Amino acid sequence: MVTSIQISEELQKELIKRKFTIKETYEEVIWDLVEDSQELSEETKREIAQARVEIKAGKSHTLAQVKKELGL
């Protein structure tokens, strides 16, 4: 179901500032804001914890190292 809502000019200006591209819709901007405020899933929390363990174990590369390996 599609619906329309009324927003103030001030809110519209704020939403425009948050667009990544001119073609991005207000709905996409609002979904990004909603996503940012949601709790991380348990799977994501486990993946973050695993990544932290790997980083502490030295199983990561810096951007400089990757650039050097790729000859950039």
Position 31 in a domain:
yes
Q: Quote the CA–CA distance of 58 and 67 in Å, as a whole number.
A: 18
pLDDT by residue for the chain (72 residues), tens only, comes to 888 999 999 999 999 999 999 999 999 999 999 988 889 889 999 999 999 999 999 999 999 999 999 999
CA–CA gap between residue 20 and residue 14 (Å, rounded): 12
| Residue 19 forms part of a structural domain | yes
Retrieve residue 25's tokens: 């819709």
Give the pLDDT of residue 37. 84
> For the chain, how many structural domains are there in total?
1
* Residue 22 resides in a domain: yes
Helix, coil or strand: residue 70? helix
Question: Which pLDDT belongs to residue 31?
Answer: 93
Structural domain boundaries, residue 39:
11-70
Q: Is residue 3 part of a domain?
A: no
Give yes or no for a contact between 30 and 38, defined as CB atoms under 8 angstroms apart: no
Angle of helix 26-37 versus helix 9-18 axis, rounded to 10: 80
